[in-house]
């Protein structure tokens, strides 16, 4: 039985963040350091337990080369890493 991969639109913001971070090859510690937040905060963002402050969101998108549209909604013209 083949199970289809979930659509990006069906994932949460935290799940898309984790997916993009993992595809970029960065650890949670690496990304947290790169965007100026704590590892605990990044873990909370990935688990959808804490909202991402706008300044951190901007740095995450720049670091991972993502559009905020993709991160929030799972769709954009840019392809995630």
Does the residue 57 lie in any domain? yes
Does the residue 1 lie in any domain? no
Gap between the Cα atoms of 59 and 11, Å rounded? 21
Between CA 42 and CA 15, with CA 3 as vertex, the angle to 5 degrees is 10
In order along its 81 residues, the chain shows pLDDT tens digits of 665 666 777 899 999 999 999 999 999 999 999 999 999 999 999 999 999 999 999 999 999 999 999 899 887 655 555
Predicted pLDDT at 3: 57
Does the residue 47 lie in any domain? yes
Q: Which domain holds residue 47?
A: 8-73
Gap between the Cα atoms of 56 and 9, Å rounded? 22
Predicted pLDDT at 7: 78
Does the residue 34 lie in any domain? yes
Write the burial class of residue 63 (CB in 10 Å: 0-12 exposed, 13-18 middle, 19+ buried).
middle
Closest CA to 64 of 6, 17, 2, 13: 17
Say how many domains are in the chain.
Answer: 1
Predicted TM-score (pTM) of this structure: 0.84
CB 46 within 8 A of CB 28: yes
Does the residue 2 lie in any domain? no
- CATH for 51: 1.10.260.40
């Amino acid at each position: 039985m083949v199970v289809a991969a979930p659509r990006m639109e069906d994932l949460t913001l935290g799940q898309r963040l984790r997916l993009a971070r993992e595809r970029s090859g960065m650890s949670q510690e690496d990304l947290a350091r790169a965007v100026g937040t704590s590892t605990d905060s990044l873990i909370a963002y990935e688990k959808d337990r804490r909202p991402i402050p706008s300044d951190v969101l901007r740095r995450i998108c720049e670091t991972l080369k993502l559009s905020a549209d993709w991160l929030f909604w799972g769709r954009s013209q840019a392809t995630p890493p």
